[in-house]
């Protein structure tokens, strides 16, 4: 059974930092693309950052470039999202997800972790 378990969310003041973790289990993720997506109330789920499991190539939404860093530890089967200079507009539920490279839809999803940034 494939599981993606997020942790590290919480309440932080604007300008602060958080590090989210996504512990993956149940299969090998070789050939997969690991993504962080977020959803604020009343909005659609949006892509935040992603990383290729094999080569570590990274991608970011324009809104987080220069502030967020995605990384993965293949030995620990864990993906991280380091979030710095947080803004109130970063407030959302953050989801970890995985899909095969080259496919459109994510196959596996975590349960989400709440990030709240106060002004």
State the pLDDT confidence band at 118, using cuts at 50, 70 and 90.
very high
Task: Give how far Cα 113 sits from Cα of 33, 75, 94, Å.
Answer: 20, 23, 5
Tell me, what DSSP letter sits at residue 104? S
Q: What is the pLDDT of residues 32-70, one digit of tens each?
A: 999 999 999 999 999 999 999 999 999 999 999 999 999
Q: What is the pLDDT of residues 63-101, one digit of tens each?
A: 999 999 999 999 999 999 999 999 999 999 999 999 999
CB contact burial 95-119 (16+ within 10 A = b; e otherwise): bbbbbeeeeeebebbbebbebebee
């Amino acid at each position: 059974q494939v599981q993606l378990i997020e942790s590290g969310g919480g309440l932080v003041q604007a300008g602060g930092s958080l590090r989210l973790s996504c512990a993956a289990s149940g299969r090998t993720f070789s050939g997969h693309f690991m993504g962080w997506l977020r959803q604020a109330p009343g909005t659609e789920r949006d892509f935040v950052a992603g990383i290729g499991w094999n080569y570590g190539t990274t991608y970011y939404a324009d809104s987080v470039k220069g502030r967020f860093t995605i990384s993965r530890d293949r030995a620990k089967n864990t993906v991280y999202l380091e979030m710095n200079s947080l803004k109130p507009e970063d407030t959302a539920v953050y989801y970890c997800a995985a899909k095969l490279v080259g496919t459109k839809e994510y196959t596996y999803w975590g349960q989400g972790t709440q990030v709240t940034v106060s002004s």
